[in-house]
Structure 1
């Protein structure tokens, strides 16, 4: 939950939000569990506010009870007090679910927090499919998560696709929507959501091609659907091509401006099958 006010009178945060219709029970939750910011600076519910101040309040949803710490490897590529960047292996669910209670990325992060004494939340900013490996950006609080959702994040992938594309680089613009009657698969259709993928051929092999792809929209299965529609599905894609043990799709690079420190953050990470291919 996010509340945002442009303050028009002198008051205290706790009194002001009650006047704005926040219930006393919700006010207590904000005091105990919320994150309060005045003009972008961390605050408490008893802080004074004045006309012209921007008051923002972030209250996370109750933590999913299925999040059980998972004592398995977690490769941290970057960390500061605001965020984490993890290198997720292929064939690992990002979120816990009935199917993936025993092992999932959030559970591994939870174990890392517990064992290292990190007092933070887990807000996934750039989630990846189960089969996709690579960089996952995680915000440690709701405020950063909100800021990162409005931050331009360059996301670059490497993929091995079946066959040889007719052009060495190009734009794929097919709109994408859920395939009728199918819970998992997506398809391209004129009434789908606008989607844009940029690609560049890095290397050609006898029967496949290594591609660099930048997604400008964040549709579910976007790269996989776009390449399959071109007739060149990702190698190992069980949904849109010929299945194999490893989906040859890797989130290789993240580049963005840190919303708190304003530093330029750029992180790159290869994976085993890429090291063999390049």
Structure 2
């Protein structure tokens, strides 16, 4: 019972704030009007009519909110729970890929960095894109130049995003929006790589796109860390229940087989 109550509370907390606020206002307005104001005589017919219209609107909002919660929000949350493990694992891969890029850029993202733009720009300014890059963090240890490395990295990130974005129905809407922004930043880098004369002295012409990419990744990490924790906990709990159910079914089958075996032995002896 306690688990079911906690589940309902989690569902209520995760609903859109606008809908939740509208529901609370409508509910309290109905209670105040029905319990208190209806016993007070209206000074004018106009106020009485406006009150009835407002009450009708509140009932409509209340009914619509309940309908949305049951028919839209709950099924959406269940899809997020089911897709949670897959989405979270892919997000971990995306996180590490961008972290490798940061290491190679020698970019240190400090907690609550005040000026990410200048930090990235200064790092890109120190890098000659035509020099060989020794990639110590990944399986491919070196590239002839930064253009080849960025092509490799962006293709890898696009592959991971294309693997996860089709499951948008199993995502939090904020996460889906952030991943689209992340993909847009990657596509911009790929476009610049295709159209770059490749004779620049530094990587500053990529700095804005890299900034957008890292900001989107940081935002996605925050969503996974904060908003997805409740989904992860519930997903783990559901998996444990499913494993226990399978174990019980397996034990029941073994008991049936043993009882059948004993019956056959007894019958044979007779």
- TM-score normalised according to structure 2 size: 0.24
- Give the structure with the larger strand fraction: 1
Larger Rg: 2
Larger RCO: 1 or 2 (CA < 8 Å, sep 6+):
2
**TM-score normalised by the chain length of structure 1:** 0.24
